[in-house]
Amino acid sequence: MKRKALTCIIMAALAVGLIGCTAVRDNTSKDENTSDITKVKALYEGVKNYGAEDVNKDTKEDFRYRFLIDGKENILKIDSGKPKKDGSYDYPIQNQLKENYNYEITIEDDTVIAATELNTSEKSTFKPVVSGIPGELTLGNFLKTAMEPVGTTLYIYGGGWDWQDEGSSIQARTIGVSSDWVKFFNEQDENFTYKSKDEDERNADPTTSYYPYGEYNEYYYAGLDCSGYVGWAIYNTLETESGKDGYVVGAVRISKMLSEMGYGEWTQDIAAPVSDNDYKMKPGDIMSLDGHVWISLGTCSDGSVVILHSTPAVSRTGQPGGGVEMSAIGLSKKCEAYLLADKYMSEYYPEWYERYPVKLADPETYFTFDGENAGRFTWNTKGDGLTDPENISDLEPSKVLAYIFESLAKNKS
């Protein structure tokens, strides 16, 4: 449902008392030297004039924000938080606000100085098809963890990054699959497009798009892009609690970053694998390209590769939406990787599969890179990286997937 239509429905509901956004005033007495502070319940509607040319990352301090209060739209400022040494701000409130969510906001002199999300008890009880264990430092657990958002998290450019597009969002630094991703997926269908309908740039429209116009991430919370996804998977493998520093960086930097942190080896000595060369991608390898990053589930005997990534794959109605999914790198849909990905996506993620066919990625595209940062990362399973007690790194994708989905397969038999 598009945002304009949703707002109309909400306003209609307010008129008949279906949604409670009644203002709650703070009647604390104040002397004449204090500011007038008010607490109200409000529906956040987004940045005023979103998508306009002058509403961009360089004018963030001048932004105005739309809130529905008592059935009436109010235009307010938002406190930008504490200044950093470089003069930028941390934007703590903007990094909490999500369009069409209800909040209790605190207003001082037409500026929102605090916000608390309401109705959090109604959050999704979603359980992933496959689950990892936070902090279990094994290769097998990394792959199980990376499977958690598969089939339920849509592609959002800037998803997983913070609002100001500098680092990890709250969701990417949280243990578990975000209920915001699940909610957004359930609100969409196969006609969802992250930017332009029919992949035609002329159809790009800020009023119907979730693309970060202005180069700040208004929809950071709704899904994940490629680097947001891999950063989340790393966090949920290495960490045991939410709120620590995140691992979301530019796609081209992730592999080299992990190597620099001492978790494994990085190399640019890599090419598209075939059945008789030494460039086979191992399970758990992370490949950073200029503009994309993906996780390997291993190389098949015919040289095709099964991968996990977040990508705006084309839906069955021709719309570029996609998201976190299992795909294949190969030359045809007859390759082993494609047949494996198709089998597992159709069997274990039927709702996603109804919207999105398995993506067949071009080997040349997914192994072509340049520059000093792109390359392949391989976990050090005999040192300070992830241990590999199940010898996952030596398995072909068919056996890797059998291991990942082992408990589910047993339940079916």
- 146 with 115, same domain: the answer is no
In a domain, 185, yes or no: yes
Residue 102 located in a structural domain: yes
Chain centroid to Cα 407, Å, comes to 27
132 inside domain: no
192 and 322 both lie in a single domain: yes
What letter does residue 115 receive in the DSSP assignment? E
User: Does the residue 306 lie in any domain?
Assistant: yes
Stated length of the chain: 413
CA distance 147 to 406: 13
End-of-domain residue from the set 95, 122, 149: 122
Regarding whether 362 and 320 lie in a shared domain, the answer is: yes
User: Are 159 and 102 contained in the same domain?
Assistant: no
Whether the pLDDT of residue 25 is over 70: the answer is: no
Residue 20 has pLDDT above 50, yes or no: no
**What is the C-alpha to C-alpha distance for residues 225 and 220, in angstroms, rounded to an integer?**
9
Same domain, 86 and 207: no
Domain containing 29 — which CATH number?
2.40.50
| Nearest-10 Cα torsion for 324, 329, 333, 336 | -100
**Domain-located, residue 128:** no
Residue appearing with tokens 């890599």: 270
**Which residues, 6+ apart, have CB-to-CB distance to 310 below 8 Å?**
153, 155, 159, 223, 224, 225, 226, 228, 229, 322, 323, 324, 325
CA distance 73 to 223: 27
The C-alpha atoms of residue 92 and residue 60 are separated, in whole angstroms, by: 13
Structure tokens at 171: 């969701």
* Residues 104 and 233 both lie in one domain: no
Task: Give 207 or 334, the one with higher predicted confidence.
Answer: 334
Q: In this structure, are 331 and 398 located in the same domain?
A: yes
Dump pLDDT digits (tens) for 261-297: 999 999 999 988 887 677 899 999 999 999 999 999 9
Is 350 a domain residue? yes
Number of structural domains in the chain: 2
Residues 71, 195 within the same domain = no
Decide which of 122, 151, 184 is a domain's last residue. Answer: 122
pTM over cut 0.85: yes
Domain containing 190 equals 139-412
Q: Which tens digits make up the pLDDT trace of 207-240?
A: 889 999 999 999 999 999 999 999 999 999 999 9
Residue type for 344, please?
A: Y
